[in-house]
Structures are given as C-alpha cells and as structure tokens.
Structure 1
Amino acid sequence: MGRTLFAPRPTGPGTMIKLHKHDLPDGLDLGPVVAVDTETMGLNPHRDRLCLVQLSSGDGNAHCVQIVPERLGGRGADCPNLKRLLTDPEQIKLFHFARFDVAILRQALGVEVAPVRCTKIAAKLVRTFTERHGLKDLLRELVGVEISKQQQSSDWGAAELTPEQLAYAASDVLHLHALWDRLEGLLRREGRLELAEACFRFLPARGQLDLLGYDEPDIFDH
C-alpha cells in the first residue's frame, strides 16, 4: 500500500510524491541514474534507525520508501526491490553527502550501495573558493532552486509522516540530476573528473570504515 500526494513546485505542474510502505513496488523503473537520500532518527548509524529512503529518476517526481522495524509492525530490512536497485551495478546512485547515506544503508539494510556519485564531493573538488557546499546553497547558486530545510529535524520515526515531511524529503532528490549536470561540467572543465570518480569508487569503503569506528580518529589522519 502507498499514498500519493502532490506538492507545489517553483514552476510548472505539481510534483508527485509517492509514499511506499516497506519497499518499492514491483516493476518500477527509475532509469540509469537515480537520486537517493535518506532520513534517519539521528546521525549515529549505530544508534539511530533508518526511517525513509527517497528516490527520483530526475523526472520531477519522487518515491519515498518508509522503513518500519519489525517490532513496530513493519518488515524492517525486508525490502528486496529497494535493495536490488541500490546494488544494481548498471544503475548509478546519485547522493549529496553519500558518505553518510551509504553507511546507514549498509548498517540498516546490509547492502553495499554502488556505483555512487556524490554532489558534495564534486562541489568540494571544484568550488574551492567557498565553504558553502550544503545542498541548499548549491541548488540556489548552481540550479536557481530554493529548498526549505524546515523539516530536517522533525520526527522521521513517526508512524504517519506529514505532507510537509514528505515534501521536504522529496526536495532533497528532485534536483540532484540538474545539480550533478552542473558539477560534472565543472569537474571536466577543471580536469578533476577522473579524481572525483576515484573518490566515488572509494565511498562504500569509507562508509564501512565509519561503521567500524575509523571516523574518529580518521584512519587517514597523521
């Protein structure tokens, strides 16, 4: 079962946001590049549970999968369609700050997400003239889109998510394709695309290192 709602967009028709309980539906095709983000109860993957995985094919619509633990009447990590997409070697998963997302998805669902692209890493490689690498800033400056972060700290573990929460979650994936297009162009222009791709290939290992406790102190520190 799922529910569909429509949220206003800055221009054009409304965005369709489809909420799916437990897993993606059978046969859903989100194309060769899928924008992905997660919402959790906090930022500690060992302590804080995964609550929502949102995805977009870049068509202006979003699919949100609500992950409910078995102790609360859900299916937990039993989401074969979502896992299949996240691990499909022919399907690029596009994130902003993939380091956290690939770690929490490994911890919660037991999958290694690959191949991966990360707009935050791309921005840091080519936008060295600024410290503003957050999604809100990048979308405003590179894509001309304003998004709200008002629901960022809301209760994502609630049994029923509000339309405002789902609209916020969707906004984190709806524009990633456009942002990546801009950043990929900058990476090519500055001759750093190959370096970025090497960083992206390392991200699943970086997430695993974080889960093993090598985030603090960082294994790459002196």
Structure 2
Amino acid sequence: MLQFTFIESDAALADACAQMSKYPIIGVDLEADSMHSFKEKICLIQIATNDEAFLVDPFTIDNFSPFVDVLENPDIIKVFHGADFDVRSLDREMGARINNLFDTEIACRFLNVRERGLAALLKDHFDVHVDKKFQKQDWSKRPLKSDMVAYSVGDVAYLIALHGILVKRLAAIGRLHWAAEEFEAQARVRYENNHAPPFFRKIKGAGKLDNRSLAVLENLLTLRMDLAEKKDVPLFKIMSNQSLLAMATGRPRSLDEIKENKMLSPRQVQMFGHLCRQAIDRGMALPHKDLPAYPKTVMPRKTPEVMARITALKKMREKKSESLGMEPGFLINNATITALAQEKPVTHADLDAMGVLRNWQKEALGDTILKTL
C-alpha cells in the first residue's frame, strides 16, 4: 500500500499542499455520506502523488484554501475517476474551480472501454482487487476502520499510473484533444441544490400529472423532506419516489387503501401513514387558483420531414459508433440529433452557430451530419 499521511489540522494541510504542489500530477478522490445523511457532505479527501498519499479529514479542517489553490493550479494535472460528483461536491463545500482535470472514466469512453468502473480498471491494468462494499460504508463515522483507510488509499494509489496508460492510448488514436475538451466541460459543472421547492420538478414522471395530482405530490414531497431532515437520513430511506407518485395519482382515502394498493410498506404505513393522509388532504383542499403547474417546454412540431431526418441521423450514428468504437449515446445524444433535424444546418458555419456540438464531435461527425441532412 502507498505510504500515507493523515491530515487533521490546517497547518498539516498547508504543509501537505506545499509538498504536492511540487508535482506535475496528482490523483484525487472523495468519500461522502450521501447514502447515510440528509445533506451529503465530504467525509474524506484522498490525494496521491507518485511517492505518497494524503488522507484529509475535512471535519477537523477550517481553512481549505491551500487545497483549493492546488485544485485551481493549471500547472498540476488532477486525475479523478468519474469526476462529476467530486466536482459538484468541491464546488458546494469549498467553491473550488478545478483546472487541468483528467477524468479516467471519460477517457475510457473515448477508448471504447465498456467496463469503466475504477474497480474493473484496477483489476485489468494492475491486477488489484477492490471490495465494492466500502462504497456503501458510512464515511462520516470516526474513527475510520483500518480496512476503510486501506480502501481509501487504494482508490487514488493507481490514478497517476492509469492516467499514463490512458494518455498513451488516446494519443495513439488521435483522440487526446477530444478527451481534453470533455474534461474541461466536466470541470465546469456546478452544484445544484435539490432541496429547493417546488420539489416535483426533480421527480421523473411528474410532468405527466394533472394540476391536482401535482398539488398532492408536492405536499407529500414536502412531508418527506421534513421527515428526512429531522431524522438526518437520505430521502429514499423515508419513502421512494414511486410510492409518492402512486399516492399522488391514486389519492387514497384511508390507510387500508394505502396498504391494499401497496403504496407503502406495512412499516411505512405505521410510521408515516397518517402524515401522508394529511398531506393528501391538504393537496385536495387547495383552491383551484393555487394549484401548481408543471413548466411546459414548447417544442417545435416534428413534421414528417423532421422525423425522417431524425431517423437518418440515428442510422448514421449507429454506423459511426461502430467505425469509431464509441457508444452511440456518448458520440451524440438524442436531444442533439433532434435539434439538428429541426434546424437542418447546411454548412459548417451553420453547425458552429447552433452551438450544440463539441469541437471533437464536429471533427468526428461534422461532414457526415451535413451529408446525411
């Protein structure tokens, strides 16, 4: 195992950041408690150089500015795996902006690697076996167990070596600059607060509900939010989205009806049934003028000509996906295909003006898209 140092004070963090700033590349990973707490938080920060690892306990640190300076230093490559959650978490808690990010998961997408989980990559390239049980551990608890510490070090110990392997493979097929553009886009994502009303906007399927059902759903979602916050547990540990949607559409008038239709488990009925019934009644009693409405996006009508272009572009995508060795949805998604079919650009300048394609996508597909249209 890579030698590591626990960082539990501002002074120790400043010293560690001064050391790692001397290196051109570091590996970074985070552990959080999203499976265990209402408001997820970073519980451990792992950083690795070629020579050692640093495990930073954020619960004992007040001043993260030395670490933020490292993240924002454009001369240091920061290697993450599946960086989306990490980037959003670092933005939420430190306001950090990551420069010179390299995401090994994204790199694998450009290399047609189907098994892209870090555990699979470590096994394939380094014959290292990772126990996935640690992904569900409660990292907020202290002290950390020795096997959790070993796992956390292992998560970053091979990132720099993996970066070297993937860079060579990307460069060999001329896609390193493609990946770099996607890394930059990943570094720009920002944290979005999912705990802000109206809550129904975050629920898949809510857009199909009538206004009265939306009112009931919003009351149920507010109830779940309050319960989760009081118990300090994730929303899914109170009631599932499916359960709330079932009650919002079925509008049960009794606990027996909730039970019979299996909208909640018997235990949930016992714990939350009466509160759910009250929430449903409040939604049913809301005056018509106060009923919520789901924001409607006016989409251009898909004429037969547009539909034909969509079909042609999807067929083109399948062929290019096979020839390039890239998954179709990553190569170009359905929303972009629809936009292209509706706009029907004729020239490369038209494609540029639309702003729906990355530069690497225009390089890979631009001529073929225009020819297909």
CA distance in 1, matches of 2:121, 2:334: 28
Q: TM-score, normalising length from structure 1?
A: 0.79
- 1:42 partnered with 2:34: yes
Equivalent residue number for residue 171 of structure 2: 188
Structure 1 position 154, deviation (Å): 1.3
Structure 1 position 112, deviation (Å): 0.8
Equivalent residue number for residue 26 of structure 1: 15
Q: TM-score, normalising length from structure 2?
A: 0.48
SS of corresponding position for 1:151: helix
CA distance in 2, matches of 1:216, 1:186: 40
> Given the alignment, which residue of 86, 98, 103 partners 1:101?
86
> Given the alignment, which residue of 49, 60, 74 partners 1:89?
74
Please say if residues 27 and 79 of structure 2, whose CA atoms lie closer than 8 Å, have aligned partners that are also in contact.
yes
Structure 1 position 117, deviation (Å): 0.3
CA root-mean-square deviation = 2.6
Please say if residues 71 and 99 of structure 2, whose CA atoms lie closer than 8 Å, have aligned partners that are also in contact.
yes
Cα gap change, 1:48/1:177 in structure 2, threshold over 3 Å: closer, same or farther? same
Cα gap change, 1:216/1:36 in structure 2, threshold over 3 Å: closer, same or farther? farther
Any idea what the Cα deviations from partners look like across 1:145-186, whole Å, max 9, x if unmatched?
223333221111113212211111111100011111111111
What number of residue pairs does the alignment pair up? 196
Q: Which runs of 5+ in 1 are unaligned?
A: 1-8, 10-14, 69-73
Q: Quick check: which one's helix share is greater?
A: 2
Cα gap change, 1:36/1:140 in structure 2, threshold over 3 Å: closer, same or farther? same
Structure 1 position 45, deviation (Å): 11
Any idea what the Cα deviations from partners look like across 1:107-157, whole Å, max 9, x if unmatched?
1111111120000000111025x2x10001011112332233332211111
Equivalent residue number for residue 134 of structure 2: 151
Cα gap change, 1:155/1:36 in structure 2, threshold over 3 Å: closer, same or farther? same
CA distance in 2, matches of 1:160, 1:221: 47
CA distance in 2, matches of 1:188, 1:44: 41
Within 5 A, what are the aligned runs for 1:50-199? 50-59=42-51, 61-68=52-59, 74-76=60-62, 78-128=63-113, 130=114, 132-199=115-182
Higher-Rg member (1/2): 2
Amino acid at match of 1:16: Q
Any idea what the Cα deviations from partners look like across 1:7-63, whole Å, max 9, x if unmatched?
xx4xxxxx322111154242632211010000001179993011111000122x310
Please say if residues 53 and 66 of structure 1, whose CA atoms lie closer than 8 Å, have aligned partners that are also in contact.
yes
Amino acid at match of 1:194: H
SS of corresponding position for 2:134: coil
- 1:211 partnered with 2:192: yes
CA distance in 1, matches of 2:38, 2:178: 30
Q: Quick check: which one's strand share is greater?
A: 1
- 1:16 partnered with 2:3: yes
Amino acid at match of 2:5: K
Cα gap change, 1:174/1:75 in structure 2, threshold over 3 Å: closer, same or farther? closer
Please say if residues 35 and 138 of structure 2, whose CA atoms lie closer than 8 Å, have aligned partners that are also in contact.
no
CA distance in 1, matches of 2:105, 2:164: 13
SS of corresponding position for 2:98: coil
